[in-house]
């Protein structure tokens, strides 16, 4: 009898389930509480926040599913903009336990050379251990390197940088984005869906465009973002199954939570961005759906879809935050 092959997301959940065996729940929760403060704040570049296996195990069990889902969502939008293309090689900068490497393998089938760079050896060690459960990642290289201005990247098809820029100084952030632009054909950067995270993504987006990249997602264009600085921020949401550790740390009984993230995906190869993208959760009212859109102009606008639009109305009701919206309908200022 053949053993069923699990999808990467299921394989990852299974691999993470045993990480906390032997680690007292209270200690795991305390480690996560301390580490969350660093994740949302600013960490000096000479102080890796994951210090030992207990830190890494707790943080991986808590954060890795959310990082995986956010990066997978960004990669899915990117893949839609470059149909028929798949990376032949992948470098994950600041990848820690390798959530982005798992997300890449969930987006494009097959095996490819994968290199995960991080400055925290315990994170790399645990990432290597978890990756043994996934055939496409068993040959991955896990390399300890300081993420900053001195980092050198080998040529690769795809570079991912997820939840890393917030740990760097402004100078190191710029150097990292420039290094990724020099080394890769495609770059995907994901940050927390906060005003500060969005600001870092916009800085990176500007540098990638200046380096000759075309924005594939989420923006329908490579022009300046139409959001006036300080007035709003562009972010999206990915649904994440909550483990018992999630419920213990955050309280509540829901089986899921929504991970808010900002991102940019850009490439040197030809891209076909969507005509417009839903940039807020759609508002469903009696007989109508309100969609806040970013379009190719570039501009932000509201589209109102009513029952008189026929099949388009059903499509609007099924449309979610972050989805493409190709249709032209009545707009409100």
| pLDDT tens-digit map of 52-79 | 677 777 778 878 889 999 999 999 999 9
Least confident of 11-15, 169-173, 207-211: 11-15
Per-residue confidence (pLDDT) for residue 13, from 0 to 100? 80
Alpha-carbon distance of 306 to 68, in angstroms, equals 36
Tell me: do 280 and 263 sit in the same domain: no
DSSP annotation string for 242-293: --HHHHHHH----SEEEEEEEEEEEESS-----SEEE-S--EEETTEEEEEE
* pLDDT tens-digit series, residues 238-266: 998 766 655 655 555 666 788 999 999 99
The count of domains in the chain is 2
Domain boundary pick from 249, 267, 285:
267
Tell me: do 89 and 116 sit in the same domain: yes
Tell me: do 108 and 151 sit in the same domain: yes
Confidence of residue 6 (pLDDT cuts 50, 70, 90): low
Tell me: do 184 and 282 sit in the same domain: no
- Confirm whether 3 is domain-assigned: no
Q: Report the percentage of the chain scoring pLDDT > 90.
A: 64
Over residues 39-52, mean pLDDT: 55
- Confirm whether 2 is domain-assigned: no
Per-residue confidence (pLDDT) for residue 15, from 0 to 100? 78
- Confirm whether 43 is domain-assigned: yes
Domain boundary pick from 229, 246, 267:
267
Alpha-carbon distance of 1 to 19, in angstroms, equals 29
Tell me: do 302 and 154 sit in the same domain: no
Per-residue confidence (pLDDT) for residue 35, from 0 to 100? 67
Domain that residue 310 falls in = 276-332
Tell me: do 217 and 282 sit in the same domain: no
The distance from CA 125 to its chain's CA centroid, rounded to whole angstroms, is 22
Tell me: do 181 and 223 sit in the same domain: yes
Count the neighbouring beta carbons within 10 Å of the beta carbon of residue 121: 14
Confidence of residue 224 (pLDDT cuts 50, 70, 90): very high
Question: Is 153's pLDDT higher than 70?
Answer: yes
Over residues 4-30, mean pLDDT: 70
């Amino acid at each position: 009898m053949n053993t069923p092959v699990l999808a990467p997301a299921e394989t990852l959940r299974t691999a993470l389930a045993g990480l906390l065996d032997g680690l007292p729940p209270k200690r795991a929760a305390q480690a996560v509480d301390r580490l969350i403060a660093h994740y949302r704040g600013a960490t000096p570049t000479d102080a890796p926040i994951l210090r030992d296996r207990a830190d890494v195990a707790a943080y991986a069990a808590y954060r890795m599913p959310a990082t995986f889902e956010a990066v997978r969502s960004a990669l899915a939008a990117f893949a839609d903009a470059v149909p028929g293309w798949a990376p032949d090689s992948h470098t994950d900068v600041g990848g820690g336990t390798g959530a982005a490497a798992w997300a890449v393998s969930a987006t494009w089938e097959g095996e490819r050379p994968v290199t995960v760079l991080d400055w925290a050896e315990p994170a790399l060690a645990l990432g290597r251990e978890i990756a043994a459960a996934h055939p496409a990642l068993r040959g991955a290289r896990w390399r300890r390197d300081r993420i900053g201005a001195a980092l050198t990247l080998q040529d690769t098809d795809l570079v991912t940088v997820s939840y890393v820029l917030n740990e760097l100084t402004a100078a190191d952030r710029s150097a990292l984005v420039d290094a990724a632009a020099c080394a890769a054909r495609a770059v995907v950067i994901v940050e927390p869906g906060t005003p500060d995270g969005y600001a870092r993504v916009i800085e990176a987006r500007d540098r990638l465009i200046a380096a000759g990249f075309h924005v594939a997602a989420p923006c329908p264009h490579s022009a300046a973002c139409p959001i006036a600085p300080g007035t709003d921020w562009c972010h999206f949401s990915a649904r994440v199954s909550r483990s018992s550790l999630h419920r213990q740390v955050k309280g509540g009984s829901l089986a899921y939570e929504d991970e808010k993230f900002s991102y940019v995906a850009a490439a040197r190869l030809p891209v076909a961005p969507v005509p417009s993208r839903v940039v807020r959760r759609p508002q469903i009212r009696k007989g109508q759906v309100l969609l806040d859109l970013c379009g190719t102009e570039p501009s932000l606008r509201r589209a109102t879809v009513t029952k008189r639009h026929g099949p388009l109305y059903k499509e609007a009701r099924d449309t979610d935050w972050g989805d493409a919206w190709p249709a032209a309908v009545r707009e409100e200022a």
